[in-house]
Each structure stands twice: as structure tokens, then as C-alpha cells.
Amino acid sequence: MKQQIILSGLGGQGVLFITRVLAEAAVLKGLEVLTSETHGMAMRGGTVISHVKVGSFSSPLIRSGKADIGIFLHPRGLEAHRGYIAGRDGIYVNTDKPGEYHGFDATGLAAKLGSPVITNLVFLGHVVKTAELFCDDRTIREAIEKISPSRQLELNVKGFETGLKGDL
């Protein structure tokens, strides 16, 4: 199994947490994993990106056009990061606007849940259900349970499951 995933968003949206969830899920599946993250000034609301490479790779970065899946927590990430994914099939965007991608309004659904901060997990739930990810939803849930701080755990799982269901 080899899969290359781009996670894009704005600083503060929880791209890093989703990166860690996917990495933990890979280990739970017994797969090798390499990620690369954005830290520093960009985390203050600027465009951030994580690369996740599952399987046998030596470089932590993905080349342009080589990502299988692109998970965009904010549509503004598209201008900078769309080129990592060839074609449009693997592009998942958190938005209520149509475009050349799979769009899903996780922000709206998280707001309905009353917890805008779990937009990232709601969207992850949607992607896990829709895309052909390297693992199934049970592994992702296990990874979320493993790395969530206890005060956040219940809410995180709820966000993820709501995304899986697609509605409340």
C-alpha cells in the first residue's frame, strides 16, 4: 500500500491534528509513514500544508502532480496547493460552493453541531467515507481516540462521526 496525501488549510484550522491522526492510523495498520508539516509564522492564519506519505518512501515531501488525495480545509488553499494533485478526482474541499472538486460544507455542519472548532474532524469523516483512503473509518476512529486529549475526546469523535454520516 502506498498513498500520498496533501492536507491544506489556514493556520488554526487543525491541519496538524488531522496530519497526526492519519500518521497514527498508518502505524495502527502496520504501515510505514512519513509526514511533513508547516510550523512557524504561517500558523497565524496563513496558508499551511502537510504532506502525508503512507508506505515505503524516503522523502517526506510530495512532488507536484503526485498526490493521490488532496484534503482542503479551506478553499483558499487551492490556489497554492492544487498542483500537487493530478486531475480533479482526488480533490476534496470544505466549501458550500460548487467547483472542479468534491465539495462538502463541513464548516456549516460543525456550526449546526454547535462546535465550529471540530470542522477539521467533520471534514475528515466526510473524506474517509467518500475517498479511497489507505484505511477504513474504524482505524481513523482508533487513531483519534489515541491522540485526543481527554477533555477533547468526546467532541472529536462526535465530529468525526457526524462527518461520516454526512448530517446530524
Partner 1 sequence: MGKNDERILMGNEAIARGLVENGCTLFASYPGTPASEILPAVVQFSRETGALIHTEWSVNEKVAYEVALANSMSGRRSAVAMKQVGLNVASDPMTRSAYLGVVGGFIAVVADDPGPHSSQTEQDSRFFAQFAKIPVFDPSSPREAKEMIGPAYALSEKYEIPVMLRPTTRVCHSRQNIQCEAPGVSSGKADFKKNPGRWIATPQFLAELHRLLNEKLEKISHEEAFAPRRSLGGSQEKEVCVISSGVACAHTRELLEDLGAADDVDLYQVVMPYPLNRGFVERVNRTYRKILVVEETYPVIEMQLLNSVTEGRRSGIVPGQGELTPDVIEEVLEKFLGRPSREKAPARGKGVRPTLCAGCPHRASFYVIKDTFPKGIFPSDIGCYTLGMNLGAIDTCHVMGACISQGAGFYHAYARDGKDMPTIVVTIGDSTFFHAGIPALINAVFQGAKFILVVLDNATTAMTGNQPTPQVGIRADGRKGTPVSITDLVTACGVRFVRSCDPYETEVFSALLKEADEYARKSDGGMAVIIAKHPCVLDREVAKFQPAYKVHVSEDCTACRHCLENFECPALVFAGDLDRVVVDDILCIGCGVCDAVCPVGAIVVEKGGER
Contact positions toward partner 1, by CB under 8 A? Answer: 10-12, 19-20, 23-24, 26-27, 32-47, 57-65, 76-77, 79-83, 86, 111, 116
Considering the complex, state which of residue 37 and residue 142 has its C-beta at the smaller distance from partner 1: 37
The 3-state secondary structure of the chain, one letter per residue: CCEEEEEEEECCCCHHHHHHHHHHHHHHCCCCEEEECCCCHHHCCCEEEEEEEECCCCCCCCCCCCECEEEECCCCHHHHHHHHECCCCCEEEECCCCCCCEEECHHHHHHHHCCHHHHHHHHHHHHHHHCCCCCCHHHHHHHHHHHCCHHHHHHHHHHHHHHHHCCC
Considering the complex, state which of residue 129 and residue 146 has its C-beta at the smaller distance from partner 1: 146
Taking the complex as a whole, the smallest distance from the CB of residue 159 to partner 1 amounts, in Å, to 15
Taking the complex as a whole, the smallest distance from the CB of residue 128 to partner 1 amounts, in Å, to 19
Considering the complex, state which of residue 31 and residue 130 has its C-beta at the smaller distance from partner 1: 31
Taking the complex as a whole, the smallest distance from the CB of residue 10 to partner 1 amounts, in Å, to 6
Considering the complex, state which of residue 50 and residue 162 has its C-beta at the smaller distance from partner 1: 50
Taking the complex as a whole, the smallest distance from the CB of residue 148 to partner 1 amounts, in Å, to 14
